[in-house]
Structure 1
Amino acid sequence: MESKGGTFEFDPYTYKGSPNVELSDGYTTVVISFFVFLAINLAAVKIGPPKNFTGDVWRWRNTFVSWLHADIVGVGVLYCLLFKPEISTDLILYCDTYIYTLLSFSMGYFVYDVFDHAVNNKLVSNYEVILHHIGVVWSFGYNIQYKVNVPYTIIALMTEINSIFLHARKLMQFDKWPFDHWLYKMVVWLNFITFIRFRIWGVILIGWGIYTEWDRLTLVYHIFIVSTMFVMYLINPILFWRLLKNDILRQFRSKDKNEKLSMNGNHGKIVNGECHQT
């Protein structure tokens, strides 16, 4: 390996991985993470869903576990963004115990979630989730095995910061929180803001990185990452429009309806999309 103009040049096909971390530690963390989320799931079974919940209990439980994963990993990624600027020195070669463990911990969750779908016969009905998870497990597994591209994975995990509020919103809907409650509105807006700041921006950063560092990636990784990013560039605008239509614009429509009711001499409010007279 040699340095040229401050940028490390290396052969991605012969590189042996970062010497700062141990492969055994990565896979050990994956296994521990798997059983941590399995234990959380069993605890959720014992606790049960909120009293207002109606429907498939597995869906609530799966969302609850996903929310906890987003909390843990999202806070971990936020710490990286705020206090570990050295990650940006080389998004392919840089690696330390913290980000390697965070990556491995997250992979353990995705392995668990595929397992959870399988044992509850949800693989077919949630096929789009499973396809996403398979891609994630392949990518994370590649980076753990070869101890490379780990900072790029941290950028990808920025989406978990958004997922904190995405899953919180869904859990509040399960518990039938009114759409006009101040806390629900706050979660909606934080979901919207973090979607732009961390989910969309993360995809843009990875896309730019692939373009500028194309020669530093293996052919196998080229094929995977290009196909994955192509799908993400198609899906994210669709998800953004749904978020904008179902949450942000709904709040303005509800506000307009309440104002019309007041102008007509009626007193009411919009709760869960319906008008309730008071």
Structure 2
Amino acid sequence: SVAIFRGLRRTALALPRPDAVRSRPGRAWRWRNLLVSFAHSVLAGLWALFSLWHSPELLSDIQDGYSVSGHLLVCFSSGYFIHDSLDIIFNHQSRSSWEYLVHHAMAISAFVSLIITGRFLVAAMLLLLVEVSNIFLTVRMLLKMSNVPSPALYEANKYVNLVMYFIFRLAPQSYLTWYFLRYVEVQGQGAFLTANLLLLDAMILMYFSRLLRSDFFPSLRKGSAGRDVDGEKFLID
């Protein structure tokens, strides 16, 4: 699936860009990167949602439940994380996007173990529901970068984004953390995935704090004066 995302990146290169992006060379790579990220979020998020809706019995066996659709979804998203990591590195964006590289390394290593063993695929499907939330996070950043003269559109997305964050990011993550700590043996693959999950918990809470400060409590932001969206890949700043 890495080739699919390379193709999407080439398509993004051919798409027209807003004036605010064309006039700022530093934004060109981020704009293309976010468009590919948006495509992955739409495809993977809806795929995970449909798979769990179509086969709800999978939720009764998070460790050993199996579906071909879920297995293919994990392979598909692994390809995206590999593609995005290479895109960041080859375009010399590692310094400003190092947190993404850490996240992707965690995701790739965890997903590869799932692909090989065929276990915990349902957990991965639940985690990939986060991509539904990422749709609105990515729209948020695209709106900021393009300087869309419509505060109402940004405001509406801001509140939808917050609701989606709770439903598709915080809720599945909290449930899986509880499940792993309560039912999964802390050895072998279980220990590795539990450690990954706890690190992801910390990252998600950090991102949530940034989101709240940026969109709902801007007076609490520190050191953000003069910061430019060109200097960050992150969707929360």
Structure 1 outlier segments of 4+, above 6 Å: none
| TM-score normalised by the chain length of structure 2 | 0.84
Structure that is richer in helix per residue: 2
- Is 1:106 the counterpart of 2:80? The answer is no
The residue type paired with residue 135 of structure 1 is M
Look up the match of 1:209. 179
1:177 aligned to 2:148? Answer: yes
* Cα shift at 1:113: 0.8
Q: Deviations over 1:78-136 (max 9, x none)?
A: 21343321111211111111111111111111111111112212223311111110110
Select which of 231, 236, 246 maps to 2:214.
246
Report the identity percentage. Answer: 25
Q: How many residues align?
A: 215
Q: 2:159 maps to what in 1? A: 189
Tell me how large the CA RMSD over aligned residues is: 1.8
- Give ranges in structure 2 of 5+ residues lacking alignment: 219-237
Matched letter for residue 176 of structure 2: I
**Shift in Å, 1:240:** 1.8
Alignment gaps of 5+ in structure 1: 1-32, 251-278
Alignment match, 1:234 = 202
Amino acid at match of 2:119: V
> Which protein is bigger by CA-based radius of gyration?
1
Q: 1:11 maps to what in 2?
A: none
Q: Residue 126 of structure 2 corresponds to which residue in structure 1?
A: 155
Q: Give the match for residue 166 of structure 1.
A: 137
| Distance of 2:86 and 2:106 partners within structure 1 | 15
Asked if 1 retains the 8 angstrom alpha-carbon contact of 2:2 and 2:80, the reply is yes
- DSSP-derived class of the 1:56 partner: helix
1:179: how far off?
A: 6.0
- The answer to whether the Cα contact below 8 Å between 1:74 and 1:157 also exists between their aligned partners in 2 is yes
What CA distance in whole angstroms lies between the structure 2 residues aligned with 1:132 and 1:237? 14
CA deviations over 1:128-187 (Å, ceiling 9, x no partner): 111110110000000001111100001111111100000011011111024622x22221
Q: 1:78 aligns with which of 49, 64, 69?
A: 49
Q: Aligned letter for 2:81?
A: F
Find the residue that maps to 2:172 and give its secondary structure: helix
1:130, 1:92 → 2: CA distance? 27
